[in-house]
Amino acid sequence: MEMTANGATDCRYSCETAAQTLQWIHAIVDFLKPYSFLTNAHVVNFFKDRLWEAIDKEWIECLRNEPVENLLQIPSGVVQDHWPASLKKFILTLRSLVFPREQADLRTVLPSLNISSLSTVLAQGMNPKKKHEVEVLSAVVSYITNSVKAHTIVDVGAGQGYLAQVLSFHYQHSVVAIDASSHHGRVTDARAERIKKHYASQMRKSGPGKRSLIVPKTITCHVMSIDTLKDLTSITRFNDNEHDHDNVDTELQQPSCHGDNKTSVVLAGLHACGDLSVMMLKTFLDCEEVKAVVSVGCCYNLLSEVGFDNVDPQYGFPMSRGVKYAGLSLGKSLRDLACQSAERWRCLEIDDGVHNFELHAFRAAFQMVLNEYYPEVMTRSLSIGRQGKALRRLQKRGTFDSRLIHKDNACASLHHIRLKTEGKTEPEADDGISSLFEKASLSGRVSHSGSECDDIKSVDKYSLFLRYTQSGLYHLGLEPLQDIDFPRIWKEVEPFSKFIGLYWSLRAALGPLLETFLLLDRLLFLQEQGNTIEAVMLSIFDPALSPRNVAIIAKKN
């Protein structure tokens, strides 16, 4: 079986060979060099570092009055005719370097592949996104398993076992589902038992011609190293009629991956987080029993990286020699940025996009508060959670009403925020913080013009900034100080808040490119092994349903 990737017309590069992949990687590195003002910046420091001043003034003047819907299209590579030539070149060149996300014609790459629609029983509990992913990936994994004649599939990071159960019950493969959560293991077992009863009943009704049921085995294990994953592959042989659940709390002591073990394994992972996808690829190379791997990665922000994290030799980035010599380090900020999805941006409604930009403005303004009044916390990495997520959900339902602000002021809330913090109040729990945002309002959202609405919006944004700051301080465990001059800080930053949407859109456009860079590093790592490995990178899901849709598929020749 020969696997060949196909690409879209807007991408000028190929990754069918190691030389082509390395050329693509070098092109990305060369493109990024002049834009360090975007790659090295943090949006939380937008006001503090006056980041808009680094952007070409012609770009700023053009984009500051651009409709929000046009800004949301920038990460997808969409330009407008009236934009400056240099801006259009930046966006279009960037887009030409991004791996195509259109769903590949899988039957061209994997001849005779048959993607079956899941039965109601197997699809129970799946949302449309998960159902689509499991339908496609299970068919691909089954195809690869049959092509290499493997005995067992190991589903790495199995979650609630959806993929493992389809591979077992529908495609009749022996499957081991590994996940770090014992809760997920119990859910997988309980769900498999229900599916087993259904299939057993159907078999009895169909009369003679008895068929055995293959039920996935579940293992709870924190896969913290390649050795652990290699050891797990050595215990995959089990009775097809046996269904048990093992809890493994410590690193396994089984002998790892020797040629005298006749078991053959395919590793599969649907959105295995961070380093787990990397461990799969390394285990595929190091373990003779593993004949193939099908990996759809995610959570690049959780990758360990040389020079930025306290990591052992089993770091997640970089993997390939080519990227190591290319000299481009990422760091957590750019790994976070690699998680940005152009498809998600494009599908945002206008109000959601506006709200997204406003939240970034609140976060950057909150950074000004921290920098001035809490300088001691600026030395550590800060995470204040997803403040305003409930606000976005409520906005989506269209239930905002300016009257709620006045109602909120009368509520018996423990978060009493004034122009100046007048006294210490007992902080609410996290749910209380969320409820504050649910009660808050972004009035004037129905109409985005008019001086009266602008005045109302200005007041409302300031009120929300106060709430955001209060919940952020509580989340960080900081006491509200008496002398914080909130009005002054907001007055200083508000005139420049209109720039944060265009800045964030330009920076988010780098997300798909950085993800491409990380994926090409993984592919090149496999290609550098020579002719003993056959590897391909494919967009296997519909990006409208599943934006994180790129699979790396490899097998040993």
Q: What is the pLDDT of residues 2-49, one digit of tens each?
A: 554 444 446 789 999 999 999 999 999 999 999 999 998 989 999 999
Helix (H) or strand (E) holding 535: strand 533-539
Kindly tell me if the per-residue pLDDT of 347 is higher than 50.
yes
φ, ψ dihedrals at 324, nearest 5°: -60, -40
Q: Mean pLDDT check: name the lowest of 159-173, 255-269, 515-529.
A: 255-269
* Chain centre distance of CA 90: 25
Residues whose CB falls within 8 Å of the CB of residue 405, separated by 6 or more in sequence, listed in order: 440, 441, 443, 460, 463
How far is the C-alpha of 248 from the C-alpha of 221, rounded, in Å? 5
3-state secondary structure at position 42: coil
pLDDT band at residue 459 using 50, 70 and 90 as cut-offs:
low
| Residues 157, 270 contacting (CB under 8 angstroms) | yes
Task: Give 379's pLDDT tier (boundaries 50, 70, 90).
Answer: confident
Q: How confident is the model at residue 219 (pLDDT cuts 50, 70, 90)?
A: confident
For helices 500-508 and 510-527, what crossing angle results, to 10°? 20
- Flag whether pLDDT at 442 surpasses 60: no
At residue 446 the predicted structure's pLDDT band, cuts being 50, 70 and 90, is very low
DSSP 355-405: HHHHHHHHHHHHHHHHHHH-GGGGGS------TTHHHHHHHHTT---THHH
Which residues lie closer than 8 Å to 207 by C-beta, 6 or more apart? none
Res 429: pLDDT: 30
pLDDT for 412: 28
Amino acid identity at 335: R
- DSSP of 306-358, one letter per residue? TTTS---TT-SB--SHHHHHHT---HHHHHHHTT--HHHHHH--HHHHHHHHH
- On average, the pLDDT of the chain sits at 80
The tens digit of pLDDT for each residue in 385-401 reads 555 554 454 444 443 33
Rounded CA-CA distance 420/538 in Å is: 55
- Pairwise pLDDT comparison (100 vs 211), residue with the higher score: 100
- Secondary structure (H, E, C), 107-146: HHHCCCCCCCCCCHHHHCCCCHHHHHHHHHHHHHHHHHHH
- Of the CA atoms within 13 Å of residue 463, those in its CB half-sphere come to 19
Model pLDDT for residues 322-337, shown as the tens digit of each residue: 999 998 999 888 999 9
pLDDT higher for 170 or 244?
170
Query: Could you tell me the pTM of the whole model?
Result: 0.82
Is 70 exceeded by the pLDDT of residue 51?
A: yes
pLDDT at 192: 79
Q: Among 182-186, 450-454, 547-551, which stretch is predicted with the lowest mean pLDDT?
A: 450-454
Confidence band of 238 (pLDDT split at 50, 70, 90)? very low
Q: Residue 285 has what pLDDT?
A: 94
Kindly give the pairing relationship between strand 245-248 and strand 217-221: parallel
Give the whole-number percent of the chain exceeding pLDDT 90. Answer: 58
Say which residues have a Cβ less than 8 Å from residue 193's Cβ, sequence separation at least 6: 243
Rounded to an integer, the average pLDDT of 536-551 is 95
Q: What is the CATH number of domain 106-235+263-339+510-556?
A: 3.40.50.150
pLDDT tens for residues 270-307? Answer: 999 899 999 999 999 999 999 999 999 999 999 999 87
Average pLDDT estimate for 138-156:
95
Q: β-strands 265-273, 245-248: how paired? A: unpaired
pLDDT for 90: 97
pLDDT of 386 reads 54
> Which of helix, strand or coil describes residue 495?
helix
